[in-house]
Amino acid sequence: RLRDPDINPCLSESDASTRCMAENNYDKESCSSHFLKYKNCRKFWNSVMIQRRQNGVKPPMPTAAERDEILGAMGKMPY
């Protein structure tokens, strides 16, 4: 279920941090930038989800296509 891009907005960031850990013999310090990017991604989409819930928008988490539109409208990655 967590591999579904409609459910998990930070799938690519999660994969990147996992890949980094595997490539660097699980040295957490080497992958701290990947962890930070994942954490910021989760924080950003969680705030979007909370705002949508407050506004009564269903579903609370935007689909993958909606997320692409949101990020496109911002012009750059917010995380």
- Structure-block tokens of residue 78: 């917010």
Q: Which residue intervals of 1-79 are DSSP H helices?
A: 11-23, 32-54, 64-74
Place of tokens 């909606």: 66
Tens of pLDDT, residues 51-77: 999 999 999 999 999 999 999 999 888
* Whether this model's pTM surpasses 0.85: yes
Phi, psi of 60 (to 5 degrees): -60, -35
Tens of pLDDT, residues 9-23: 999 999 999 999 999
**Please, which pLDDT band fits residue 6 given cuts at 50, 70 and 90?**
confident
Torsion of CA 12, 78, 73, 70, to 10 degrees: 50
> Whole-angstrom Cα distance, residue 56 to residue 39?
26
41, 10 in Cβ contact below 8 A? Answer: yes
